[in-house]
A and B are shown apart, each in its own frame.
Chain A
């Protein structure tokens, strides 16, 4: 029997990028193995849910939970891992705020299934849809039932820490791993419960080297329609909707440094209650127009305002989902 503290990592409604980001810590992953007993990590090793169910409550020291809660299987495992873990971390944007899968909250679940199984790209003349249970000679088979909306982990269980990013930057993951190992050895203390870890407490703009002047714009443009993009000037001031002003720092302004606009994957900056609202304020502040007609004309340059300001944060926002989604009976 090993006496090392136990570690688990799980993926719910996510893409797997968070797991790749953990592997991207390179040799740091060996520190995880040296200091922890990895008991459950579906993407990396074989383990069954009943193995987790058999564990003692609170016996896993650290669980990194990535992915949002999209179906009843996700919800079951979230509750199970909460029960079995001392420290539960919402790891990555999906678990923190819904992320890209959270944009599905713009459509009722029936529409999502229909789009996936019966559209121009999926020929389905016999209207065959997946069923959640099916009788076969060997018994009854079940697949998970979709919930009516994607929920961040915090809306389902109590969460100890939040680690944002899509995915979290590997140097940030390495720093958090180092910290937890120090805590295990008694050399450091954990941050207060509920802290957002592995990131900064300011905005992407604060880390962005581009020059900001007080400038107003007459037109919003998609970045591919701007030629050439000035490599040193603030993107928002070039009319490119850049989500930096509302987004938490921690990535070293990676996208703006590479010539692309920030899309907001690190979630709301410290103190921001609603990410989209903050971004509405930021975009409005650069518009150079005072009449409703002219302002509206400039706003036409943002073709999908809801998707633009809630690209990563819709499920974690104040309104959480489209009104039609709320109306769906579970």
Chain B
């Protein structure tokens, strides 16, 4: 046991590519940081920014969003929608004092298990450097 800060990361994966990439990483027994808790969506286009805000407000230190490479979406173009939301969401988060690096978008195809593992580990290390987010869960008024 060390006293090193272990970030809690929520990862949203696309059913058709990045979830399979993570599956591939698992079956190929690749090692990557165990900090990420994956939630499978049918598509990165399903990612409502609410999910990210809910994760951050409920104790996550970072959120990873993954989807198919541009042009390869199973639903033709929904990953572009994810990209647009992601870029606007980051701007809103900056206004709330949250480092934009705490939310990351990664494209990974079903064959890219190694990329998925490497990106996950790199993201965990990046969030570890940023430190805990510890979003306020106490009373918003005066501390009594």
Q: How far does the alpha carbon of A295 sit from the alpha carbon of B98 in the complex, in Å?
A: 21
What is the 8 Å Cβ interface bit string for chain B, positions 69-87, against chain A (1 contact, 0 not)?
0100000010011011101
**Nearest A residue to B89, CB-CB:** A280
**Nearest B residue to A155, CB-CB:** B140
Q: How far does the alpha carbon of A277 sit from the alpha carbon of B88 in the complex, in Å?
A: 10
Q: Is B50 an interface residue (CB 8 A)?
A: yes
Q: How far does the alpha carbon of A320 sit from the alpha carbon of B137 in the complex, in Å?
A: 10
Contact of A295 among B77, B83, B94, B140 (CB under 8 A): B83
Residue with the highest number of chain A CB atoms closer than 10 Å, among B54, B85, B141, B144: B141
A156-B141, A281-B49 are contacts. A319–B85 as well, Cβ < 8 Å?
no
Q: Decide: A281 and B48 in contact? CB cutoff 8 A.
A: yes
A151-B141, A281-B49, A292-B83 are contacts. A318–B97 as well, Cβ < 8 Å?
no
Q: How far does the alpha carbon of A296 sit from the alpha carbon of B90 in the complex, in Å?
A: 11
What is the 8 Å Cβ interface bit string for chain A, positions 102-144, against chain B (1 contact, 0 not)?
0000100000000000000000000000000000000000000
Contact of B85 among A72, A284, A292, A306 (CB under 8 A): A284
Contacts of A277 in B (CB 8 A): 48-50, 52-53, 89
Q: Decide: A290 and B50 in contact? CB cutoff 8 A.
A: no
Q: Decide: B92 and A274 in contact? CB cutoff 8 A.
A: no
Q: How far, in Å, is B86 (CB) from chain A's closest CB?
A: 9
Contacts of B136 in A (CB 8 A): 320-321, 326
In B45-63, the 8 Å CB interface with A consists of: 48-50, 52-54, 56-57
Interface residues on B, range: 20 to 34
Q: Decide: A280 and B85 in contact? CB cutoff 8 A.
A: yes
In B24-63, the 8 Å CB interface with A consists of: 48-50, 52-54, 56-57
Q: Decide: A280 and B140 in contact? CB cutoff 8 A.
A: no
In B92-144, the 8 Å CB interface with A consists of: 92, 94-98, 135-136, 139-144
Q: Is A278 an interface residue (CB 8 A)?
A: yes
Q: Decide: B87 and A292 in contact? CB cutoff 8 A.
A: yes
Q: Decide: A309 and B83 in contact? CB cutoff 8 A.
A: no
Q: How far does the alpha carbon of A270 sit from the alpha carbon of B32 in the complex, in Å?
A: 41
Interface residues on A, range: 35 or more
Q: How far, in Å, is A268 (CB) from chain B's closest CB?
A: 11
Contacts of B56 in A (CB 8 A): 318-319
Q: Decide: B97 and A322 in contact? CB cutoff 8 A.
A: yes
Q: How far, in Å, is B16 (CB) from chain A's closest CB?
A: 19
Contacts of B94 in A (CB 8 A): 306
**Nearest B residue to A326, CB-CB:** B136
Q: How far does the alpha carbon of A299 sit from the alpha carbon of B84 in the complex, in Å?
A: 9
Q: Is A31 an interface residue (CB 8 A)?
A: no
Q: Is A195 an interface residue (CB 8 A)?
A: no
A148-B140, A319-B96, A322-B97 are contacts. A284–B53 as well, Cβ < 8 Å?
no
Contact of B87 among A148, A273, A296, A329 (CB under 8 A): A296
Q: How far does the alpha carbon of A40 sit from the alpha carbon of B91 in the complex, in Å?
A: 44
Contacts of B53 in A (CB 8 A): 274, 276-277, 317-319
Q: Is A324 an interface residue (CB 8 A)?
A: yes
Q: How far does the alpha carbon of A72 sit from the alpha carbon of B97 in the complex, in Å?
A: 26
Residue with the highest number of chain A CB atoms closer than 10 Å, among B48, B49, B50, B140: B140
A321-B140, A330-B144 are contacts. A305–B91 as well, Cβ < 8 Å?
yes
Q: Decide: A330 and B54 in contact? CB cutoff 8 A.
A: no
Q: How far does the alpha carbon of A283 sit from the alpha carbon of B135 in the complex, in Å?
A: 26
What is the 8 Å Cβ interface bit string for chain A, positions 139-181, against chain B (1 contact, 0 not)?
0000001011101000110000000000000000000000000
Q: Is A69 an interface residue (CB 8 A)?
A: yes
Q: Is A287 an interface residue (CB 8 A)?
A: yes
Q: How far does the alpha carbon of A75 sit from the alpha carbon of B140 in the complex, in Å?
A: 12
Q: Is A59 an interface residue (CB 8 A)?
A: no
Q: Would you list 12 pairs from A and B whose C-beta atoms are within 8 A, ordered by A residue?
A: A72-B141, A147-B140, A148-B142, A151-B140, A280-B88, A284-B84, A305-B95, A306-B95, A318-B53, A319-B53, A324-B97, A330-B144
- A interface residue numbers (CB < 8 A to B): 69, 72, 75, 106, 145, 147-149, 151, 155-156, 273-274, 276-278, 280-281, 283-285, 287, 289-290, 292, 295-296, 299, 302, 304-307, 309-310, 315, 317-324, 326, 329-330
Q: Given A276-B49, A284-B84, 10 other A-B contacts at CB below 8 A?
A: A148-B141, A151-B140, A274-B50, A278-B50, A280-B85, A281-B48, A292-B87, A295-B83, A321-B96, A322-B95
